[in-house]
Structure 1
């Protein structure tokens, strides 16, 4: 990668096209590039969350997710490739189960909020849901791995659980939704 990344300013995209990992060129507004950008945005949201003080287990989980998301971006960048596997999904399910076991059962809907770290986890979750929708949309017209879609679905669940976990770690409860019954 060193030689590939030694020149960052290439001017090859000045005409509104960009290169995919297979060497083909597409317009920068095509759905595949949109999905790659959305995955990058999600990874950046997780990077902001990682700038917070976090429990070690949460930090390790999120660092692993960031690497997975880089793989997912690569998978989308190279049509018909597959880097996300069932093992990735099983790992997310195991982590979600482990963190969720430490939380009280939900009896109400909760609002995204509480501590700054929990709020950032919820923001990442909502971005993850958007990425999932865009990848599903891409899959309606081009091949997309079932594992990629499942991974994003499980990741949004995990991020929800981590939001609750981070509030609990700081001694805060969930921010409960209170139905507005009008004035």
Structure 2
């Protein structure tokens, strides 16, 4: 295996796909880096479920495997310079898959009548953190929206909704109590 370090970024630049060098604070780098951060937080949330046993666990984990893969695809879109072909493209069907899962999981939850505080169990709380990171990724992507596939932006928007419902859903499955906002 090649060395993990290249020293090519020591002066504050990095390469996009196809080798174009940009500053490490370039909008694209901020956006795909924030997607990577969200993906890592999702991984942390899922790691807390390894010792848990619950009905539908395999399907739940498979859904998140697909979501984590799609976050890499979104990152690929964001890391590809404008005008270059994208290796993995985000399409409307990917957004619709999230929507279908949101609808299925939300149908098993009590309707929201007031705001809930992020938390519950460890997995639910970590998914709330992932949701806020995805919201930041979306804000970063909006800053470069004219240069990217609009479906990547739509996917990030829907993903934050998915993560909100996912946190509630896993808290429900594991009987981890959510707390409501008191005025």
Alignment size in residue pairs: 173
Give the unaligned 5+ runs of structure 1.
Answer: none
State the TM-score, normalizing by the size of structure 2: 0.89
State the TM-score, normalizing by the size of structure 1: 0.89
The equivalent residue for 1:60 is: 62
The equivalent position to 1:163 in structure 2, one of 136, 148, 167, is 167
Residue pair 2:121, 2:177 contacting (<8 A) in 1 also: no
Counterpart secondary structure, 1:18: strand
The equivalent residue for 2:15 is: 19
Residue pair 2:20, 2:81 contacting (<8 A) in 1 also: no
Q: With CA pairs under 8 Å and 6+ residues apart, which has the higher RCO, 1 or 2?
A: 2
Give the unaligned 5+ runs of structure 2.
Answer: none
The equivalent position to 2:103 in structure 1, one of 92, 97, 105, is 97
Counterpart secondary structure, 1:79: coil
User: Deviation string for 1:34-77 (max 9, x for gaps)?
Assistant: 11211110111111011011633321111111100111111111
The equivalent residue for 1:74 is: 76
Q: What RMSD in Å do the two structures reach over aligned CA positions?
A: 1.5
